[in-house]
Structure 1
Amino acid sequence: MSFIRLLNDIRIRKKLSLMFITVAVLPLLASGVYLTSKLREVMIMNAFEQATDNVERVRKRTEEVIKVPLDISYQLSNDSRMKSVASRNYDSYIEVIQTYRQYSDIRDYMRLYKGVKSIRLYTPNPTMLNNWEFMQPDSQTMQAEWYTTALSKKGLAGWAYMQDERDLKYYLSLVRKISLDEPKKESVLVINVNSDVLNSILAQESFSTMIVDYHNNIVAANRPNLYGRNLDEVNVGDNMLTQTEGSFDEVMDGNASKVVIASLIPESSWNGLRVISVFTVSDIISDANEVIRVASLVVVGCLIIAILLVYASASLITSRVLRLSKHMSRVGTTSWDTYLDIDGKDEIGQLSRQFNSLVVRINQLMLEVEDSNQQKQLLQQKQNEIKFKMLASQVNPHFLFNTLESIRMEAHLRGEEDLAQAVWQLSILMRKSLEVGSGKIRLSEELHMVSCYLELHKFRYEDRLLYNMEIAPGTEEVEIPPLIIQPLVENSILHGLDRKEGATWITIRTKFTEDREVMVEIQDSGAGISPLKLKELQRQLMEAEDGGMRIGLRNVNDRLQLTYGPSSALSIQSIEGQGTEITFCIPQKGEPQCFQ
């Protein structure tokens, strides 16, 4: 309802524009956003599939390149001539040089295979010379991780990114233990892979692609700024550092990226390599964004033209409505001779014709109302005169209270304390009754009036009237209409005590229900009500109110229902000869929900 009210408050011109935007622009924008997201997804999926194919292709070509040094290492590990050269004890340097010249297999491998940069065998033989093929390992070399690991792997090949001692450059190198013929003499074979060959494999890749070793060293890359660095230095996430295979989303250098990783573990190797391809999402969708940008400009231009046309059409409609509004304003200033002429057979034209008929009819009614008002004013004047006379004839309440106070003081002086107390209570009761207005009073004030009322009757009935009040803590502050409980107590005295011999107990009880409603009970042990009369009484309470200003059960019941709703109506239970109980509920919030 609030939305409809808000919509009705908008001017027609803006309302038509808003309807156009709602019906045309928003669905178009929603479709554009949906299609754009789908286009982005398709492009990212195609790029992902391309990256996956590229990674697999690079993995296979890399495997072919490193298979060459792996095969050479197998051949050299079984080459008895090389083992003889490495384990032989030489008597002179001349003998060493002659032996090196006679053994040319290592040089032949380097000449035949472009993928091999260098081959060297580290042998702890003090009689040999270093010629970059056979090397004496120094203490630093023997303590290096790759050297100790190779000796511990019992002939398995390993792959490490290490510095060559000759040109001091870093290469992807195969390391492998070679057992010599003599016991306790073991060598480590190192074969450097040509980095240019590895980089040429990646040169044709469109995405950022790299080959890393098991220490996350980038041994080859198609981006010069990545080659030779460690992944820790490139600002990548933990997944790229630890995951061996698969694909995932990653943030690289602050850009949202897709990463595809393939693992490469050559045969008979204790470790391997990883091929990693990374593409930035923004680079992939840049072309799509350009197309979307151009399409958006075209759509926005069309929408602007459409909005202008809608605005112009709305102006034609609103101009006619404004003419009607001006004539209505003139009628509002009691100009009954106005006449509106709007052509057209649409709703606005029909409304203008109905407006003209309405003005004629209102003019006639105004003449009739003027005559009626003159008669009402004359009647009101007569009624005011009657009220003034009635007010003038009323007894001054101050005179009445002063008289009662004089009687009380005279009774007190003569020692008639009971009489003085009764007069005092009557004075309080009458004062409270005269001060009662149309608002609400606290329950404690109502109970105070009831207490005075009961004490006055107790003065009359003495021991035949007994009463007590059971007031639950917290209920005294509840506000109720005035003179609600006193008429019910009066009913118990008139119809309960007067029609029964002996003493009668009247109990007034308040308590909280489970729903935090205040329940008020007036219970007496009087004569009770017969079933037939009880049924008739309940029927009378349910009927429409008749005339009169009586204060009784009917008056109390009507005021409770008008104030709190039907759920607060009086509930009467009675057993003939045993007594009557009347209850009602006073809600603290909303409509009461208490039941007997």
Structure 2
Amino acid sequence: MYFIRMMNDMRMKKKLAFTFISAAILPLLLSGLYLTGKLREIVINNAFMQVSDNVDRVRKRTEELIKVPLDISYRLSVDNRMKKVASREYANYGEVIQAYREYTDIRDYIQLYKEISGIRVYVENPTALNNWEFIQPDNSIMDQTWYREAIDQKGLAGWNLIKDEQSDTESISLIRSFPVDAVGKKGVLVINVDQQQLSSILEQESFTTLIVDSRNRIVGSNEAELTGMNLSDIKVDEQILLNQEGSYNTVVKGKDSKVVIADLNPPNSWNGLRVISIITVAGITREADQVILLGAVVILVSLLFAVLLIYASATLLSRRMLRLSKHMAKVGSGSWETYIHIDGKDEVGLLSKQFNTLLRSVHDLVQEVQETNAQKNLIEQRQSEIRFKMLASQIHPHFLFNSLESIRMEAHIRRQDDIAEAVWLLSTLLRSSLEAGSGNIPLREEIERVRCYLDMQKFRYEDRLEYHLTVDPDLQELPVPPLIIQPLVENSILHGLDNREEGAVITVEVKKITDGALIKVFDNGAGFPPERLAGIRAELAEDVHEQESERIGMRNVNDRLVLMYGESSALRIESQPETGTTITFYIPGGVDND
């Protein structure tokens, strides 16, 4: 019992580690060390022979690759036409361009030989131009080590990693000087070896393989991130920087390794390249599959013992997991109030506690969803209430519209155009009100409904009513609840114009703000005294809904705004007696509650 309790209290990670160490690792480790020791030497020798062959293959293929730029350099160094183009004194830039255009040998070489990626000729000639083939060397170029070495070596070829002025990339290049004229003037020829061709040679190697120049700069590698680095940057033994052809035991990046080096010395060159292949001892031993075959018998016996221990441990775990599974099944059938307690401090015990916490969270979430659905139903109810309060339900819409249209046509026939216009406005307003559903509509439709309503009221009040509608063009398609502005305008006319003989001005303004739209409805009417204004604000803040109102009022608008967008969108009312009333509310941008 003590052992079972200890296992239950033990963390899953420690439990599995204890079982695995006891049942598998110790016997496997002993047998593995014995067998690996016997075969280690064989595996390393085989891998070393393979690497030596690979290095020799890379050297031969690289020799074939650099023979092409070497041969082209011989041709160009004795090409009198090229020398004439490079050193000729030109009278104007037109002659320079014409000479460059007529001399196509460099471009032909680049197109014919995929082994090279560029050719540059450096000759001092103040009358010439740079065209990435013929270049006038400035002091920054002539001070380069490779340029000075080429001049000093008197026609021998050199191989270095240098930067191409046109592509701003480094590549292994052939460099050699050539005589320009009989008086001893010299130029420098640079031929870039195609880096992709060099990479294709190296990418076939499974071990780390490098090509380095005489300055120990890596000009090519089957690991692209190493190209351009110095050999010392990859933390190799300092002896490798100086060693020539041969094989060496060394340390690379802190790991015991073997290094095979092969020299690559092109003919008629003052320097050469080295092919270096690096293999780690750990990398070689990973391929020792024979160890697994030879140790199969020992491993099998060890596994049998491991199975017994693992089976006992799994049985103990499965019983506790089965209890948890049965409890989950009860919850799945709808029992939200049951909780489980599983003894132990390991992962299974913690899982049962977390499941109980999750169960409580899901239960709370279900209640929240139910409350949200109830709130949504309330919104739809308030939206439907708008339509029924606009018209008496006893009037059939088609009969009403047909009657209004008949009246409008009769007024038009009798040349009472103002009456016809008023009837048309009323018909339009009633139709849009009846068509208002529970979903949102574009702001432009709501503004058009307000405009229609104001035009109809202007027919009634004539010059006593003026109105202004100002809407930001970017907000035309903003989704808003239907009949959200018109009731406020109606309220402004009711309290702002009916009580003033001189009339009133109604202004509706919709401004774009950072995260939505700010809507203002204000008038210059009679306004409210402070006590009346306080009563209105208190009424809007109450949680109960209007039951006795026979019209669409501010309370209905306020309730829908709060239900749909939250308290931040509630109506804000400012009023001064004999000055006017301003009603402001906010609608978040991009909110769509359809």
Q: TM-score scaled to structure 2, two decimals?
A: 0.45
The structure whose RCO (Cα within 8 Å, separation 6+) is larger is 2
**Rg comparison, structure with higher value:** 1
